[in-house]
Structure 1
């Protein structure tokens, strides 16, 4: 069920933990945990919060989407398996154009995150939306950039999603 401020206040009560604080505690616990089982549980819990638009600003503020992307580099496949649900949410909520806009950010980390998101989000159902000629031009520029991370990510995108390119 979707939440609003009034419903959240009723559920939290006078002495309850505010949502932002609670989510921050989950993120902190995930980052400090060495137990794979605990990490799996925390990622699943955070993924559940990502279904309610009420939490979107909190999740963005806490960089939870980046945390989900970081999970994809983990050797633990159970952490990676949560990604398709997140990718679906990002796509359904109009996140693709927002990610594409981030390619022109002056902040290097934002560009890196956008390139990584494009790599993982692009699939048969949204490839036309993502791999438009103007986006491919930007990705091609990053593929020859001096920044190794930009170049590697851009080349990986082109190899994976445009393998028939010249």
Structure 2
């Protein structure tokens, strides 16, 4: 559902996946199915609910083995941008992601890389409020 053209289907799909990813067995199945790339694709949605579910899903999918992928430089830069959002929900969730899923060194490196860039990472726009 995450690759559907309908924004409604994507929103409901990532919402369901977010709920499932809290279960260890489901989380492992998502990771084994290369689901991280599909979830990170939802970060570019203009729908705040979709983005919130994608961030929460990435948090649920972060393990010692998957951390390299769930906290890639592009994802970290995206979270840094989201941490500046006017939406308190998105801003707070992005800050929690940066605190709980990333090392301070990763965040510092992503901040340095982001400085001086006028475009959003990977062309990811901030969702509309």
Interval of TM-score (by shorter of Structure 1 and Structure 2): 0.5 to 0.7
Whether the 8 Å CA contact 2:18–2:56 is kept in 1: the answer is no
Q: 1:64 to 1:118 in 2, by over 3 A?
A: closer
Correspondence 1:103 to 2:43: yes
* Structure index of larger Rg: 1
TM-score where L is the length of structure 1: 0.52
Once residues 73 and 19 of structure 2 are traced to their aligned partners in structure 1, the CA distance between those partners, rounded to angstroms, is 30
Once residues 107 and 64 of structure 1 are traced to their aligned partners in structure 2, the CA distance between those partners, rounded to angstroms, is 16
Structure 2 alignment gaps of length 5 or more = 1-11, 109-129
How far the C-alpha of 1:94 sits from its partner, in A, is 1.2
Whether the 8 Å CA contact 1:145–1:151 is kept in 2: the answer is yes
- Aligned position for 1:36: none
1 or 2 for the larger relative contact order (CA 8 Å, sep ≥6)?
A: 2
Of 151, 156, 160, which residue of structure 1 is paired with 2:91?
Answer: 151
TM-score where L is the length of structure 2: 0.65
Structure 1 alignment gaps of length 5 or more = 1-59, 73-82
RMSD value, Cα: 1.9
Q: Which digits, 9 at most, give the CA deviation of each residue in 1:102-151, with x for residues without a partner?
A: 00111111101001001111111011112111111001100111111111
Aligned residues: 94
